[in-house]
Every structure is written in structure tokens, then in C-alpha cells.
A and B are shown apart, each in its own frame.
Chain A
Amino acid sequence: MSRSWGRQDAATIVAAIVLIWLMPLLISTYTLTVLVIYGMLALSLGLIWGFGGILCFGQAAFFGLGAYTYAIAAINVGESTLPMILAVFVPALFAALLGAMMFYGRLTDVYLGVITLVVTLILFKFVNSSAGPQYVIGEARLGGFNGIPGFHTLNIPGQPDEYIWGDALYYVCAVALLAVYFLVTWLLRSSFGRIAIGIRENETRVSLMGYDVRARKTILFAIGAAIAGLAGALFANWGEIVTPGLFSLGQSAEIIIWCIVGGLGTRLGPIIGAAGLAYLKFLLGQQSLIDNTLIMGIILVLFVLFLPKGIVPAVASLWKASFGRRSGRKSARRRHMRRVDSANG
């Protein structure tokens, strides 16, 4: 079993390296970087929603929190290594507190959605109105609606003057996404991940087996927030400015749309959904005939009505239907495992 996993992983790495190497020939690295970052953001929601069953309407809150943490820390510290670490831990800690409050209160679906939505709104309103000089953290002014510009961007650890930007930033982001992807893969194969999927399927049964559902959900929620925070910090480096728009409802909505379109319960789906839709939006932004939002809305409605499982599961089942018929015990076993794999993720 482990050998087959290993082969799949190797194939994934090779495919990813080829993609990372080939894509800049098609799309400019400046655009690609943000597509990769959005992919990571979508993966963070794909993990907690698709595998943990936690529908978070406020994933943008952790994204924004990561970006703001990075910007504020970078202004105060003057280099980027510590701010990057903080940008992962602060959202995770925030999510752990929020998650503990929600999950230990046994709040479920709708209430969870509303509370995460409301928390995002609170952050948005607060940051949006923090324009005055009294809102200062260290040397960093929060800047209200205008956001925080001019912070120290990513540098090679230990060498504050060696900035990583342009093409180099793209490769850093792409490798980070690959690392996060394998972290998620590893997590889902571990017993923690399997139990998380069990909780998604039947919470009562898992808790009756003696697992602490509340603690596990809280931890999963925090891990998702940490990934979103990392994406936020990378986004801050890409945009070189952070604005309250990162916390907006529109941003949260987009993350959910990416996951739905790409396919829930898969690791690849959210990434593909995010990169594809963000690129589509980029292309649409170059014309002014039809409003962008309108098309995104239509896409979401159509997907919910006609392809509620998303692109990746649909393509996978199509692939299985056309090429999946092989004979012999070995391939039968492999098919079985693929089924388990697709059931688990």
C-alpha cells in the first residue's frame, strides 16, 4: 500500500515541477504568482470544508489577518523571516480561539456559517475605520481604508537586503504551495485526517467511539487558518500593500466559489478552481462589455444546479469510465484503493 502511495507522490512532484517550469511560458509570472497564492487559499478552505465538514464563511478573515500580521510585523522588524512565521501563527491562534468558542458550544452548520461571517465583518469594519493616528501597532499605522503600504517585502532569511521578487517570488510561492499540498496530503493520511473525515461523515458515531470531536475540529480549523495566513502573507508580498478589502465578504465568497467549482473533498479541486476562476476573472477584467461579478454569479449558480460535485470529481469519474477498465488482480486492487482514495480524498 505504501509503495503505491509513494509512486503517486512521485508522479505528483514530477507533474508539479513540470507545471511550475512550463507555466511561465504561457502566463506572466506576475499573474501566476497570485494564481498560486489563491490556490493555496482555496486549499485551506478545501481542507476544513471538504474534509472536515466545517463550512467557514470567513476564510478571508484568516487570509486578511495573515496579510496584516505580516505587514505590521515587517514594518516593526525590518526583515521578513519572523513576520512570515507570525503571519502563520497569529491566524492559527485566532482560529483556535474562535473555533474553541464555536465547537465547544456545539454550534453547527448554519450557526457556524453566520458566526464566521459576522467575525469577518467585525474585522472588516474595525480595520476599515482605523484611519486615525491613534490606531498604531508599534511603528505601523493601520491606515483604515487606505491599508498599509511600504512594508519590507520578502527577503532571503538572514539577509534583509536580498529581496525576493518577480520571478523568484513566483518560484517561492509555487514551492510553498507544493509543500502545503503535501502537508495536507500527509495530514489526511494520518490518523488525525482519517478521523476528521469520520467526523465529517458522522459526528455522533465518532464521538461515541471516544474521540474528542470538539478538540479535533478546533485543531483542524486552526490548521486551515494557518494555511490561509501563509497565503495572506505571500499575497501581501505580491501586492506590496494590504487593504481592508482582504477581509471583505466578496473575498470570502470567492474562496467558497473556487472550492465548489473545483470540487469539494479533493485536494486538487480547490487549487484548480481558484487558479482557473482567478485567471478567468483576470481575462474578463480586460473587457468592459459584461460585468465581472455577473459572470461569477452565473458560474456559481450553474455549478450548484448542474455540477454540484465540481470539476475535478466529474473529470475523475469520466476518466475512470473511459480508461478504468483493466483486468487482473493487481489493477482491481488498485481500483479499489482508488475508490477508497476518492472516498477519502
Chain B
Amino acid sequence: MDLSFVILVEIFYAVASLALISAGLAVVFGMMKVINLAHGEFMMMGGYATITAVQLGVNVFVAMLIIAPLIVGLIGLVVERLVIRHLYGRLVDTMLATWGLSLFFIGMATMIFGNTTTSITTPITGFAVGDYQINGYNFFIFFVSAVLLISMYVLLKTTRLGLIARGTMQRSDIAAALGYSPDRIYMATFFCGSALSGLAGAVLAPLVGLVPTSGGAYIAKAFITVIAGGPSLIVGLISSSSLFGVVNQIFTFGISPVFGDVALLIAAVILLRLLPQGVTGKFFKGKM
């Protein structure tokens, strides 16, 4: 009984963290069609921003939920203006340029923070269920990603801003003819996507020891989640992260954490082979 509760919590945590990792990429790649291979490094910088802010005496939740997204969003803004802006519509080139950016950020972080592991303690203590100890922070992650997905849905679906953004991504020329500047909207969307990546990195920072190359651990998972999700942003994100999260946890508990990761990746390869348009390319068509 206790064990099944623990497993349930772990599955929810796995799903939530996958959704959280992928949210920023879903905006940048899913909406803007920019293959951001520096996504993992944006998360890494979010983590470093949090840790630095906490060490300077800022409250940990303020650091995670406000400071880190802002800083990473601003970095994203600079990157968009300097590099990405020139490459919209050139899929492979964005991929290569962002790969270069990711190497650049890794090098930067190595020079500033050194090639050592930094970490902060989790701000929420755990509690016991029967013989097992559960990390209370898991619930916080679940809460954050639920709030995030709901607010993304509301923002994109019901507000005028979301409508303009979605319209511009579909037909930027029409949006321009209607008097909106695609350039600015792209800029703002990239800012939001980077800020989301920064938030994800910040929220996950207390759980992992941070090194400059931490980003590499996220990037593949984020990509397969977004691509397997398919064209519908939020529904795709939820369905693919649920699928992969469950697969991951079943194999983690059944065999070992490494096999959990390997099983997730194999599941992704099989899924993409069967449904090359992603889950929402086949099911839940036309949803947001």
C-alpha cells in the first residue's frame, strides 16, 4: 500500500518534471519552429541564477520563480536579437547556431563558476509514508508545472495577446498586414520561451548537483517530449510527458534508473516511427 503510494507520487513527479523541462522548448520549437539546442543551457543558467541569488541572501522561492526566469529571459532576448532573428525559417541553421550557443554558454559557465558541482538544499522537507520517505519538493514541482500548463493554456487560448502570438506564428505576413509587428512578437515569444526554460532549470536546481554541462541531460528528453507531443502545444505536452513519465518510472522501479532512461528513449524512437506527426497529429486533432 505504502509502496504503491510512493510509486504513484514518483510517477506524478516524473510526468510533471518532463512537462516542466519541455514547456520552454514547446514554445520556442512548437510555436516558433526554432530548434533551440541551447534549451538545456538556458535551464542550466536558470539553475545558476537561482543558486547565486540564494547565496546572495534572496529568498529561495523569489529566486526560483522570479529572478531566474527574468535573467534567463533577458539572456534569451539578447540571443534572439543577435543570432536567432537572422535565422527564422531556416530550420537546420537555427539548430546549428543554437548548438554553437549552447557550447558558448557551457564555456561561459565553466569560466565563471568553474567545473565543479554547486547545489542548494531543497526548501521543502520530506515526510514519511509508512516505511518510505517522500520528498516534499516533488509536490512543489507537480504544483508548479500544473499551474504553468494551465496558465499557458489560458494565455494562449483566451487572451488577445495569445491570439496575436498564435496568429503571427501561423501567418506572419497577415499579422503584419493587420498592423502587428512580427519582429516584436517573435522577440516577445522567444523571451517567454527562454523565461520558461529558466524557470524549469531553477525549480529543478535543488534536486540536482549543477555543473556547466548539466543542460545536456535535459535537452534530449525535452526534444523527444515536444516532438512526440505533436502540433497541439499543451495537449501534446501533457500526453507525451504522461506517456514517457510512466514508461520511465515503470522501468526505473522494475530494473534500474539507467534502464528507466533507456526505456524512455526507446519508447520515443518507437513512438516516432509509428506516429511521425506526434501524438496529437493522430489524436486530439485541432486542440490547443
Taking Cβ atoms with an 8 Å cutoff, the residues of A that contact B are: 55, 101-102, 105-107, 109-111, 113-115, 117-119, 121-122, 125-126, 129, 249-250, 253, 256-257, 260, 290-301, 304-305, 308
B162 at interface by CB-CB < 8 Å: no
Given contacts A294-B107, A294-B111, are A118 and B268 in contact (CB under 8 A)? Answer: yes
> In the complex, which residue of chain B has the Cβ closest to the Cβ of A259?
B96
Task: Say yes or no: B104 contacts A298, CB within 8 Å.
Answer: yes
| Inter-chain CB contacts under 8 Å: number | 113
B87 at the interface (CB under 8 A from A): yes
A105 touches B276 (CB 8 A): yes
Per the bound structure, the CA–CA distance linking A110 and B104 in Å amounts to 23
Task: For residue B213, give the distance in angstroms from its CB to the closest CB of chain A.
Answer: 8
Q: Indicate if the CB atoms of A109 and B220 lie closer than 8 Å.
A: no
Q: A113-B95, A119-B269 are in contact. List 5 more A-B contacts (CB 8 A).
A: A106-B276, A111-B276, A115-B272, A126-B258, A298-B104
Q: Is the CB of A297 within 8 A of B87?
A: no
Interface on B for A, CB 8 Å cutoff?
35, 83, 86-87, 91-93, 95-97, 99-108, 110-111, 216, 219-220, 223-224, 227, 256, 258, 261-262, 265-266, 268-269, 272-273, 276
Complex Cα distance, B83 from A121, in Å, reads 28
CB of B224 within 8 A of CB of A301, answer: no
Specify which chain A residues have a CB less than 8 angstroms from the CB of B227 in the assembled complex.
110-111, 114
Query: Is the pair A304, B91 in contact by a Cβ cutoff of 8 Å?
Result: no
Residues of B within 8 A of A55 (CB): 92
Assess whether A114 is in contact with B224, with CB atoms less than 8 Å apart.
yes
Tell me whether A293 and B83 are in contact (CB under 8 A): no
Could you give 20 example pairs across A and B, Cβ below 8 Å? A106-B276, A109-B92, A111-B227, A114-B272, A115-B269, A115-B272, A118-B268, A121-B220, A125-B265, A249-B219, A250-B216, A260-B96, A291-B111, A293-B104, A293-B110, A295-B107, A298-B100, A300-B103, A304-B87, A304-B97
Instruction: Report yes or no: A122 in contact with B95, Cβ–Cβ below 8 A.
Output: no
A129–B252 Cα distance when bound, in Å, is: 14
Do A294 and B83 touch (CB < 8 A)? no
User: Do A305 and B223 contact each other (CB < 8 Å), given the known contacts A297-B101, A300-B96?
Assistant: no
- A55 nearest in chain B by CB position: B92
Asked whether, in the complex, the Cβ of A305 is within 8 Å of the Cβ of B86, the reply is yes
Please tell me which one of the listed residues A114, A125, A126, A294 contacts residue B223 in the complex, with CB atoms under 8 A apart: A114
**Interface pair A299/B100, CB less than 8 Å apart:** yes
Given A249-B216, A290-B111: A301 in contact with B276 (beta carbons within 8 A): no
Chain B residues within an 8 Å CB radius of A300: 96-97, 99-100, 103
